[in-house]
Structures are given as structure tokens and as C-alpha cells.
Amino acid sequence: MEEKNRQLHRLHHLEHYLMILGIAVGALILTCAGLLGRRGIYRDYAYSYADAPLLQLALTGMADGVMPFTEAEYTTVYGDPEADHEAGYDVVRGEAVELQPLFEEPRTEAEPEPDESDVTEEMGEDEMTEPEVSDEPEEEAPAEPEEAEAPVEPEEEIPAEPEVYELEAVTDDYFCDALFLGDSRTVGLSEYCAPLDERAVFFAKVSLTIFTLMNKVFIPDEERGTINVETALADRQYDKIYLMIGINEMGTGNTEYFLNAYTEVIEQIRALQPDALIYIQSIMHVTKAKSDAEKHINNANIDLRNSAIATLANDHDIFYLNMNEAVDDEDGALRSELTFDGVHLKAKSYELWYDYLKNHAVVRPQDEIYRQPEGGAAAETEEEAQSQGVTEEPEETDE
């Protein structure tokens, strides 16, 4: 009897240690999850015992929607270098492999509903984990054009003597039938460049990456609620399409991996918009301070990726615009007075970007009316454009 009372007494006291128990048990479970997942579902996550306790791994996985103690199917993607080309970015999360085409995202049930709240989550999956392809990330030279999977513009489609355009100055109305695609930097452009926002269409979203650009559902549509860029591009033809994307994925994959994704996006856009001029804008630099402090988001890596995507231009209907000329200092970094966080332009700095676009436009016959009158900005820009080497030779594949 006495023994029983004492036991009851002990049990009663359990509530005095409830928090410590809850923490200990939770930590134990998550540590086990991390330990098991390290060789299983989380094996592609960058993790080292020295940097964080094991439960960090499980928590990171959960943030990505990869729940502990779940099964995931594997094929040995990384053991096979040739497979890297085929592997979609979902490989990053140890989920599906052999995604073809790259962007159909056969996600598992773990994929969160596309809404505002998954903005950071999206960031998470792009940044927190690195596929092994990034183990030797940016040191290697940009991918040789031969390796770029497909030619951007198959030769047979190029007219016998393609007209090669040069970049000239245009009026505001040039952008009336333009579309801007991009991440938060383009969001800023639409927010703080009224003349452009009044005329052009913007499909831009914070944390967008080249991997999510086409399929992320974020564009409001009257009939269908929200749609993705692919659907929106099928709906309506645009005359000019500007892209500025690539800063969020600096920590994901290597240059080749990025270029492949970029190439596919350009191909998709070209297929949906056969007559549009495509402007590939360089990824804007970050400040020197930011660049020096960052492992991935630094200007050396940005330059590698920029020179890779520059090879996609053909100077016929795909152009590369090195907009960094408008915002760089002598070190080739974003001028520090133009920004607060070292990455985004301040509201009043967007004008520089817009001026650059206005002075570096292709005037096709149908755009003649938008040409800036001779003299003034136009004359100056032509000279500039040539000295910049914006009009690189089109890169072709040997196929």
C-alpha cells in the first residue's frame, strides 16, 4: 500500500518536469530522425556534425517537406556523371529523379500549396541543400557551349542571312508590349519604375528561381485564379521578353547546372512566343562588402554564370544585356550607395536600370516609331553598346 502511494506520488510529480521531458523526448526523436535520415532521405543534404546537432538535419528536411521516417526512392544519380544532366532539381531534396523535361516538377505530396506563405520555404529548398554537383561549384569554367544541351536556336530556323541588330536608344513606349520576368529585383523594378510599370507587364515574384520560373503558380488570372508563367505565355504574345533571374539559386548547383536550366527556359519561352525578342539580362552584381562575405552569392560566381548565359544570345532574336554596367563601381561590384542590403537596388536607384534598358534596345522594323530621335542619348548609346561587346557572336553547337 505504502509502495503504491509512493508510486502515485512520483507519477503526480511528473508534471513538474513536463517541459524538460518534452524537450528531451523531442530532441531524442529528432536526433534519431537525423541519424537515420543521414544515410537515407537526407543523405544529399549538406551537413557536418561539427556545425550543428543532428536534429538540425531533420528540422531542415521537415522545412522542405521531407518528413522524418518516411521512405524515399532513390536511384544513384550522383554516382553517374552523365545522369546529372537529366536530373531535375528535385534531386536536391532527395525525391524524384530523372525529371524530363526538367521543369515538370513531379513533386510528392510534400509540395506545399503555392501561396504567399511558401515563399521562404521555397527559398529553403533552393538554398539549404546542395546537391553534390555543387561540391566543386563555381571554380570550374563556365560550361562549354557544346555541353549546353541544346542549341537555343536550331539552325534550320535561322534565316539564311539573319539580320543582326544593334542596341539603340528608344522611347518609353517601346516597353508597351514588353514582359518582364524575374525575382525580387524585378519586383522592385515594377514597384519603383512608374514609366515602365504603366506600360509593361510584370511576372515577377520574390524568391523566384530559374528552376521555378515557368511552373510556379503566382500570376493572378480572372478566370483561373492564379496561373503559372507557362500558361500566361500561352495566353498572349509579347513583343519583348526581359529576364533577370539567378540570384536566389547562387547556392544551388554549379554553373553548368544553372545554364542547362536557363537554356530550357529560353527554349520553352521561344516555343511559346515565336516572335518575341528575348532579352537575357545579366544577373545584377552584389556590393563588394556583400561579395566578400558570401560563400555563394559573390560577384565571381555571378560573373561565371553571367558569361554562361551570355552564350545563349544570338543577336538575332535573343540578346544579352549586361546591365551591371549601369550600377557597377570600379571593382565590378554593385555601387554601395545604390543599395541598403547589398543585393537590391534602393527605390531611387531603379532609374539607372531603366535608363540602361532604354538605351540598349533592339529596334526591329515594327519598333521604328519608338526609336529615339538622332543625337542625344541615341548617338551616345550606340558607341557604348559596341564598346561593351554586348553583341557577341552567336554561339552555335556542332550539331
Give the count of residues interacting with another protein (CB under 8 A): 50
* Binding-site member from 128, 170, 323, 390 for another protein (CB under 8 A): 128
Enter the DSSP assignment of 189: H
Nearer to another protein, 245 or 277 (CB): 245
Evaluate whether 252 touches 131 at the Cβ level (below 8 Å): yes
Evaluate whether 350 touches 152 at the Cβ level (below 8 Å): no
CB of 66 to another protein, least distance (A): 13
Q: Is 270 in the site for another protein (CB under 8 A)?
A: no
- The pattern of x and - marking residues 39 through 68 that bind another protein according to CB under 8 A reads ------------xxx-xx--xx-xx-----
Q: Is 358 in the site for another protein (CB under 8 A)?
A: no
* Binding-site member from 75, 100, 120, 226 for another protein (CB under 8 A): 120
CB of 348 to another protein, least distance (A): 4
Nearer to another protein, 19 or 160 (CB): 19
Q: Which residues of 308-327 are buried (b: 16+ CB within 10 A; e: fewer)?
A: bbbbbbbbbbbbbbbbbebb
Q: SS3 string of 118-176? A: HHHHHHHHHHCCCCHHHHCCCCCCCCCHHHCCCCCCCHHHCCCCCCCCCEECECHHHHH
Binders of another protein among 286-345, rule CB under 8 A? 297, 339-341, 343-344
**Closest to 92 (Cα-Cα) out of 105, 217, 80:** 105
CB of 60 to another protein, least distance (A): 5
The three three-digit cell numbers of residue 150, written as one number: 541544346
Residues 273 and 287: their CA atoms lie apart, in Å, by 35
Q: Is 216 in the site for another protein (CB under 8 A)?
A: no
Residues 382 and 386: their CA atoms lie apart, in Å, by 6
Evaluate whether 135 touches 296 at the Cβ level (below 8 Å): no
User: Based on C-alpha coordinates, what's the Rg of the chain?
Assistant: 25
CB of 30 to another protein, least distance (A): 9
Residues 327 and 324: their CA atoms lie apart, in Å, by 5
Q: Is 153 in the site for another protein (CB under 8 A)?
A: no
Nearer to another protein, 4 or 16 (CB): 16
CB of 130 to another protein, least distance (A): 11
Q: SS3 string of 261-302? A: HHHHHHHHHHHHCCCCEEEEECCCCCEHHHHHHCCCCCHHHH
Nearer to another protein, 65 or 394 (CB): 65
The DSSP bridge pattern shows strands 240-244 and 178-182 to be parallel
Q: Is 15 in the site for another protein (CB under 8 A)?
A: yes
Q: Is 28 in the site for another protein (CB under 8 A)?
A: no
* Binding-site member from 35, 40, 67, 124 for another protein (CB under 8 A): 124
CB of 189 to another protein, least distance (A): 11
CB of 353 to another protein, least distance (A): 12
Nearer to another protein, 250 or 278 (CB): 250
CB of 209 to another protein, least distance (A): 9
Nearer to another protein, 4 or 12 (CB): 12
Residues 376 and 369: their CA atoms lie apart, in Å, by 17
Evaluate whether 302 touches 323 at the Cβ level (below 8 Å): no
Q: Which residues of 180-190 are buried (b: 16+ CB within 10 A; e: fewer)?
A: bbbbbbbbbbb
**Closest to 277 (Cα-Cα) out of 233, 234, 241, 329:** 241
CB of 288 to another protein, least distance (A): 15
Nearer to another protein, 192 or 257 (CB): 192
Binding residues for another protein, per CB under 8 A? 13, 15-20, 22-23, 26-27, 51-53, 55-56, 59-60, 62-63, 116, 119-120, 123-124, 127-128, 183-185, 191-192, 194, 206-207, 247-248, 251, 297, 339-341, 343-344, 346-351
